[in-house]
A and B are shown apart, each in its own frame.
Chain A
Amino acid sequence: MADLHFLANPARFRRFSQRALPVLSFATALALGVGLYLALVVSPPDYQQGETVRIMFVHVPSAWIAMAGYMLLAALGASLLVWRHPLAALMARGAAPVGAVFCAVCLLTGSLWGRPMWGTYWVWDARLTSMLLLFFLYLGHIALSRAYDDPARGDRAAAILALVGAINVPIIKFSVDWWNTLHQPASVMKLGGPSIHPAILTPLLVMALALALLYVVLVLLRTDTEIDRRRLELSESVA
């Protein structure tokens, strides 16, 4: 009986992802190609930051996606807890590592950007520190969801965590911002000055689109796998 209920939505999802994945993968590759070309070849060096502004084209979209990814985990968590949507749990399981990797990429590229800019591989600036804490929240979600022999229990625990974490993220951001201005009066580097001029905006947005598409592709792919994995686990527990 559980098997039948389980299959209802995931089957529809399956059909959707089978059609969507090839198209989205192609779109991702295309957008990445254009984006990388714009970021590495076309866009001029920034008058302040020089060539290192190119790092921003990866660092900033990764930050956006990491944040959005966590909001997705919270939304999926709500969907699971309130409507008992079985697919929500599996998608959360698949999406969490993707968000975590984007978060890590953001932190590492941020570190590599910091070295030529500020002379150190790590600065406790508000945004990077908030991102670090977000990374810990991701790790917590991933670990918690896999900490139980009964995977459904892990799904629900992680869902609660995602919701509480999502409420906390703005609070954490506020407190870290505040902490940073307290301890580091120098303001953080803004993207190319008070206004972003188009030479920087276009590559940024194209890269953001490309990486967002990559995120979607990865989540669809991994959710697909999680559906199969859950079927395996269910059959094993019944056998």
Chain B
Amino acid sequence: MTGFTALMARDLRLVWRRPGDVAVVLAFFVVATALFPLGIGPQANVLARIAAGVLWCAALFAALLSLDRLFAADHEDGTLDLLLLAPWPLELAALAKCAAHWIVTGLPLAVLAPLLGVAFGLEAESLAALGATLLVGTPTLSLVGGLAAALTLGARRSGALLALLAPPLCVPTLIFGASAVETVATGEGFATHLAILAALALVSLATLPWAIAAALRQAGE
């Protein structure tokens, strides 16, 4: 278990030294979100209607942005080779990388999105739904994104390829996350959505670290 925490701590320390990397991603999130009212028009009822979808999509894109460096830096400086040779399971290392990615990307997005949701005219309960679903949903995005990053490691046009591979696999999370906000309006509550998002996260947790490790192994061959 120490390997896991050590790797995570190392990644977080690296981000701490260069906070600009994270700031850029969050700034993109804000900018991308702001584009929608500019493109669609400022009518309050329209914005409130599309807010959840817009914020969830923007969060997805923002999470994607930071992914292609997830393993690339380690691949370049030889850390990946060390990880491949390390005594503890590669799956754990993969999980540690995705966890660190979530802490610096998904978590801030889940906090930031409700703040932006105010600008879209969302009510308090909707904001809570938005924040909660992003909190539970973004780990899945980090895991799926981690897989896409590992699969495209060293490929030509890896950034574009990653943007092609990850989104379809993120669709279930997106659907249940974004639609949770509507349940506030109908009064049925977003507990079911949260449960489904949690289930998706657990399934990802149970399967994707192995897929990511497999992808990393053949990147190292």
A associates with B? yes
Q: Is the Cβ of B179 less than 8 Å from the Cβ of A179?
A: yes
- Which residues on A sit within 8 Å (CB–CB) of B156? 147-149
Chain A residues with CB below 8 A from B171, complex form: 133, 172, 175-176
Binds B, one of A45-53, A55-63, A152-160, A225-233: A152-160
Q: Given A147-B158, A164-B211, A171-B172, is A156 in contact with B164 using a C-beta cutoff of 8 Å?
A: no
Bound-complex Cα distance A179 to B147 (A): 25
**Is B17 at the interface (CB under 8 A from chain A)?**
no
Query: A157: nearest residue on chain B (CB-CB)?
Result: B151
Q: Closest chain A residue to B176 by CB distance?
A: A175
The A-contacting residues of B in range 156-190, CB under 8 angstroms, are 156-158, 161, 164-165, 167-169, 171-172, 175-176, 179, 182
- Contacts A147-B155, A147-B156 given: A139-B164 contact, CB under 8 Å? yes
Q: B169 — which chain A residues lie within 8 A by C-beta?
A: 164-165, 168
State A161–B167 Cα separation when bound (angstroms): 13
* Chain A 1-25: CB-based contact to B (< 8 A → 1; otherwise 0): 0000000000000000000000000
- CB-based closest 3 A-B pairs: A147-B155, A175-B172, A136-B168
Complexed CA–CA distance, A147 and B162 (Å): 11
A167 within 8 A of B: yes
> Contact mask A128-147 → B, CB, 8 Å, 1/0?
00000100110110011001
Classify the secondary structure of A's interface with B. Answer: helix
Partner of B151, one of A160, A172, A175, A182: A160
Q: Are B151 and A143 closer than 8 Å at their CB atoms?
A: no
Do the beta carbons of B152 and A175 come within 8 Å of each other?
no
A81 interfacial by beta-carbon distance below 8 Å = yes
> Please, which residue of chain B has its CB at the minimum distance from the CB of A167?
B207
Residues of B within 8 A of A (CB-CB), count: 30
Interface 0/1 of A75-96, CB less than 8 Å to B: 0000001000000000000000
Which residues of B pack against A, CB within 8 Å?
Answer: 147, 151-152, 154-158, 161, 164-165, 167-169, 171-172, 175-176, 179, 182, 200, 203, 207-208, 211, 214-215, 218-219, 221
CB-CB under 8 A for A143 and B172, given A148-B155, A157-B218, A163-B211? no
Are A153 and B167 neighbours in the complex by a CB distance under 8 Å?
Answer: no
**Residues A144 and B165 in contact in the complex (CB < 8 Å), given A164-B147, A174-B172, A179-B179:** yes
Contact of A118 with B by CB under 8 A: no
CA distance A149 to B155 in the complex (A): 8
B53 shortest CB reach to chain A, Å: 11
A–B complex contacts, Cβ < 8 Å, 11 sampled:
A133-B171, A144-B165, A147-B157, A147-B158, A148-B154, A148-B156, A168-B169, A172-B171, A174-B172, A182-B179, A182-B182
Task: Write out, one digit per residue, whether chain A residues 172-188 have a CB within 8 A of any chain B CB (1) or not (0).
Answer: 10111011001000000
Query: Which residue of chain B is the closest to A165 with respect to CB atoms?
Result: B169
User: Across the interface, which residues of B come within 8 angstroms of A81, CB to CB?
Assistant: 214
Interface of B is mostly: helix
Cα A165 to Cα B168 in complex, Å, equals 9
Residues of B contacting A139 with CB < 8 Å? 164
Contact partner of A171 (CB less than 8 A), chosen from B157, B200, B208, B215, is B200
In this complex, the member of A133, A161, A182 whose beta carbon has the largest number of chain B beta carbons within 10 angstroms is A161
Q: Which residue of B lies closest to A153 (CB)?
A: B218
Q: Which residues of A contact B165 (CB under 8 A)?
A: 140, 144, 161
Chain A contacts for B207, CB-based, 8 A = 164, 167
A-chain residues with CB within 8 Å of residue B215 when the two chains form the complex:
157, 160
Partner of A161, one of B151, B154, B158: B151
Interface centre among B157, B175, B203, B221 (most CB of A within 10 A): B175
Q: Which A residue sits closest to B151, measured CB to CB?
A: A157
Quick one: which of A153, A157, A179 has the most chain B CB within 10 A?
A157
CB contacts (< 8 Å) of A172 on chain B: these are 168, 171-172
Contact B218 A175 (CB under 8 A): no
Determine if A175 and B175 form an interchain contact, defined as CB atoms under 8 angstroms apart.
Answer: yes
Tell me the complex Cα distance, A110–B165, Å.
24
Complex CA gap A149/B5 in Å reads 35
Smallest CB gap from A147: residue in B: B155
